């Protein structure tokens, strides 16, 4: 008997590897394997890559106002393949947002948020907020002009929230204005608090998903779902690997073709720089430019009330819409609402990008 078999048997005797393997790989897939089921695995893969590249960056990044910009410059200009690692981390954040939104749209269109999968949907909404938090907190860490002023505007928007807004803004800034404490707190949130929260919520999301089971294609009958049933291994595992490989190639390609650029070091002195958030927040940034959202009340409605109401509606969706029907064509109001929402976000984002050249 080889040494590998001896070690395998020793571990199996203590933690029952065969049972664990059966639970992980013998998950039933209603309607058979499909590339549409690969979103979760792709998101997990992106998070692992983000964590891996983030750890590499932490070896060389100094989270202080005096050295953050210099250490980022060192990673980009002097560290072997540092530019690729940082660019991969940057584009990986965008890939996670795109994949997560796509996954949520798929779940909505398929009606897979309905009973008995309400808890799966709620955990997914919390994961969405955590990923947005990653994007917001990570934006400041390079400590250049773009990061400093974009984050300053973001914290000022947060300050408009009633009751807790002033407290949250002062806590994130570490004082009345952005500075060294701001960078330190954003770093702690980005590399410690949010990763821990994501791991916990992803575990709950997976637990709820395994308890409720996959919903299966919306147009399949119960008999079709049963007759076309497959296990997670091997066909779905193969399709997940194909999707993950494709995601890796896309992120790596973007990292090579469009590497991260570092602007001048952050300075609180007034400049002619026009601050902007990351692209996935641009629609909200452009919304606040509309005349109807001008003034203190308008800014509150556009920056706090509408996004907050949207999140509440998303969380309440499984309890408001009790119709068991899942086919999109039989849910015209829901489909019209999501199309209108996505068109609005795309138009607002395009207007924000177009205004840069004016």
What is the full DSSP assignment across 1-26?
A: --HHHHHHHHHHHHH-HHHHHHHHH-
Does 170 map to a domain? yes
Least Cα distance to 57 among 29, 81, 31 occurs for 81
d(CA 142, CA 135): 13
- CA dihedral of residues 252, 254, 257, 261 (deg, nearest 10): -110
Tell me the per-residue pLDDT of 183-229, one tens digit each, with 9 for 90 and over.
Answer: 999 999 999 999 999 999 999 999 998 888 787 777 655 565 566 66
Number of domains the chain is built from? 1
Report whether 317 contacts 125 (CB < 8 A). no
d(CA 142, CA 158): 21
Q: What is the helix (H) or strand (E) element at residue 66, kind and residue range? A: none
First to last CA, the chain: 73
CA 181 to chain centre: 25
Tell me phi and psi for residue 29, to 5 degrees.
-115, 100
pLDDT of residue 225: 59
Does 146 map to a domain? yes
**Structural domain containing residue 137:** 31-287+319-357
Does 314 map to a domain? no
pLDDT over 80 at 2, yes or no: no
pLDDT of residue 214: 80
Does 153 map to a domain? yes
Report whether 323 contacts 113 (CB < 8 A). no
d(CA 141, CA 183): 7
Report whether 249 contacts 315 (CB < 8 A). no
Q: What is the pTM of this model?
A: 0.90
Alpha-carbon Rg of the chain, whole angstroms? 23
Exposure letters 124-148 (e unless 16+ CB within 10 A, then b): bbbbbebbbbbbbbbbbbbbbbbbb
Strand pairing partners for 29? Answer: 230
Does 308 map to a domain? no
Does 186 map to a domain? yes
Percent of residues in the chain assigned helix, strand, coil, to nearest 5: 75, 0, 25
Tell me the per-residue pLDDT of 270-314, one tens digit each, with 9 for 90 and over.
Answer: 666 677 888 889 998 899 888 888 887 888 888 889 999 999 999
pLDDT of residue 326: 84
Does 19 map to a domain? no
Report whether 341 contacts 333 (CB < 8 A). no
Confidence of residue 115 (pLDDT cuts 50, 70, 90): confident
pLDDT of residue 220: 59
d(CA 143, CA 229): 52
Does 6 map to a domain? no
pLDDT over 80 at 239, yes or no: yes
- CATH of residue 116's domain is 1.20.810.10
């Amino acid at each position: 008997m080889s040494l590998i078999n001896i070690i395998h048997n020793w571990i199996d005797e203590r933690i029952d590897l065969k049972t664990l393997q059966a639970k992980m790989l013998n998950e039933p897939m209603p309607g058979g394997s499909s590339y549409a089921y690969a979103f979760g695995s792709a998101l997990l893969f992106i998070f692992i890559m983000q964590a891996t590249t983030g750890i590499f960056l932490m070896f060389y990044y100094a989270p202080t106002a005096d050295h953050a910009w210099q250490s980022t410059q060192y990673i980009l200009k002097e560290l072997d393949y540092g530019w690729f690692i940082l660019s991969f981390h940057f584009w990986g954040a965008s890939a996670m947002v795109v994949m997560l939104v796509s996954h949520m749209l798929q779940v909505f269109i398929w009606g897979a948020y309905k009973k008995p999968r309400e808890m799966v949907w709620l955990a997914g909404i919390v994961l969405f907020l955590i990923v947005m938090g990653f994007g917001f907190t990570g934006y400041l860490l390079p400590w250049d002009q773009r990061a400093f002023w974009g984050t300053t505007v973001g914290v000022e928007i947060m300050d408009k929230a009633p009751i807790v807004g002033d407290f949250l803004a002062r806590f994130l800034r570490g004082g009345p204005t952005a500075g060294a404490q701001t960078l330190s707190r954003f770093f702690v949130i980005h590399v410690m608090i949010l990763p821990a929260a994501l791991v916990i919520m992803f575990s709950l999301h997976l637990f709820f998903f395994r308890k409720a089971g996959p919903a299966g294609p919306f147009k399949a009958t119960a008999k079709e779902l049963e007759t076309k049933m497959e296990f997670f291994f091997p066909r779905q595992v193969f399709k997940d690997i194909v999707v993950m490989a494709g995601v890796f190639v896309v992120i790596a390609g973007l990292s090579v073709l469009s590497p991260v650029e570092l602007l001048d070091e952050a300075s609180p002195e007034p400049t002619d720089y026009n601050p902007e958030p990351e692209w996935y927040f641009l629609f909200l940034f452009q919304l606040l430019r509309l005349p109807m959202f001008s003034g203190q009340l308008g800014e509150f409605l556009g920056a706090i009330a509408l996004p907050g109401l949207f999140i509440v509606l998303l969380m309440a969706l499984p309890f408001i819409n009790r119709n068991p029907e899942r086919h999109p064509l039989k849910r015209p109001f829901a489909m019209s609402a999501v199309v209108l929402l996505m068109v609005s976000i795309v138009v607002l984002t395009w207007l924000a990008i177009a205004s840069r050249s004016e």
